[in-house]
Amino acid sequence: MHRLLCLLMAFALPAVLSAKESKKDRPNFVVILCDDLGYGDLACYGHPHIKTPHLDKLATQGMRLTSCYAAAPVCSPSRAGMLTGRTPNRSGVYNWIPGNHVMHLRKDEVTVAAMLKNSGYDTAHVGKWHCNGKFNSPAQPQPGDHGFNHWFATQNNAAPSHKNPRNFVRNGKSVGPMEGYACQLVVDEGVDWLRNGRDKQKPFFLFTCFHEPHEPVASPDKMTAGYSEVARNKLEAEYFANVENMDAAVGKLMAALDELKLADNTLVFFTSDNGPETLRRYGGAARSFGSPGPLRGMKLWLYEGGIRVPGILRFPGRIQPGSESDEPVCGLDVLPTLTALAGIERKPDRAIDGTSFVEVFTGKPIRRVTPLYWHYYNALGAPKAAMRAGDWMVLGSWGQTDQRGGGFFRESDQKLVKTMELNHFELYNLKRDRDQKKNLAETEPARLKELSAQLVKKYREVQAEGPEWKFGK
């Protein structure tokens, strides 16, 4: 379902540009990905205190998505899914990746950056990478091996915190200690690339990956002090300020697009990699005051709060300003959407789970071949797989209460990933029950039978494709 605020305005855009059109004025792409930003963490998504004027403005300039989903409820899989258009278990990115781990996004996976680069785009990644364990090492592929001509990245979190990080690498060379906050440093790098580094004869793809508001949180004192009257304590004030600081960085990036006269031909997509972290779930999560809004669950859960995230699209002349859409859009859709807009007709030679969301620009439903699907063996709570078909969400579990979640992928986990079967199911109508308070499994037996069968079929397909990692190598 869609709600367009000014129905008299319509902006037509073909679902796939013709080869002739693709060579002329191909659009630029800026994808902005936050880390652990909850559905309820922005003012334009209802947060009562956090100030996000730049993102609020971006939403008024474009479209606010109310059913935007991450590709997974945890960071590394979500990023792998966004880059490849494939549910991350297919590529073997089963969980978040600690440093020096064997898991990585393999070289033979086809990324949106590589496809765009091969089609004549200049490409850059700035910020968190988290698609390998052996970062900046020839032992595993790095951002440059996955299609990014320029990269400025960390393996996982900014260290020792967002303030004055010292673990950034630029194109294979360690940068060393830096002064400032991670989100501002990331945007400064992106803006400098836009001004001085890119090939201005080519369209571009800039993938901007903030560390904020993931722990370890650090925020400017002045912003933190601004929440002293509304936050319950200084730690919560620091979280609120962390989101505001990220918002300010977005504002700086948008101002640069305006200054360089790039905004009118640039699609901007802002979103998050998963839902908000749970307060004090682990020792360093003392400032994790993120909000899922009214949704059930948080990061690591396959209920809505773990996977439904903020989503804002801006594309002047093609997306109606001030519009809103409740059509489900997912991080898995980035590859098919951007390649369609770039006029790339050749598709990857493997299963792609995402679908172009170009139709959303003009208020039309997405024509999905298969329903949206999520699969996370280490999820908190019972459900380990989920599928959304229209207004319906079906979730499947292994038939046992399991409070896993948080730990990284171990050799013993490969049995769970490759052999466990779904045998218990929950069913929700998200149109009537967005908050998932009423399980309809018993009152909708025919629908449950149909959708659970589809879920099991997809689960087994993905389970069979996922590789086994060789530990110790």
Rg (CA), the chain: 21
Q: How far apart are CA 44 and CA 50, in angstroms?
A: 10
With a CB cutoff of 8 Å and minimum separation 6, the contacts of 158 are: 128, 165, 167, 168, 182, 211
Q: How far apart are CA 217 and CA 287, in angstroms?
A: 7
Is 130 one of the catalytic residues?
yes
Nearest residue to 286 (alpha-carbon basis) of 236, 211, 224 = 236
With a CB cutoff of 8 Å and minimum separation 6, the contacts of 68 are: 271, 308, 309, 310, 311, 328, 329, 330
Cβ atoms of residues 123 and 205 within 8 Å:
yes
**Overall residue count recorded for the chain in this entry:** 473
Q: How many CB atoms lie within 10 A of CB 9?
A: 11
Find where tokens 């967002």 sit.
162
Catalytic residue among 34, 68, 75, 330: 75
CA of residue 91 relative to chain centroid, distance? 17
Residue 389 is inside which H or E element, if any? strand 383-389
Cβ atoms of residues 57 and 257 within 8 Å:
no
Report DSSP state, residue 332: G
Is 34 one of the catalytic residues?
no
Bridge partners of 266, per DSSP, are: 28
Q: How far apart are CA 298 and CA 310, in angstroms?
A: 13
Cβ atoms of residues 332 and 325 within 8 Å:
no
Cβ atoms of residues 97 and 131 within 8 Å:
yes
| Side-by-side strand order, sheet with 372-375 | 372-375, 383-389, 392-397, 424-429
Cβ atoms of residues 208 and 32 within 8 Å:
yes
Amino acid at site 84: T
Residue 170 in tokens: 């630029």
Catalytic residue among 54, 104, 130, 150: 130
Residues designated catalytic: 75, 130
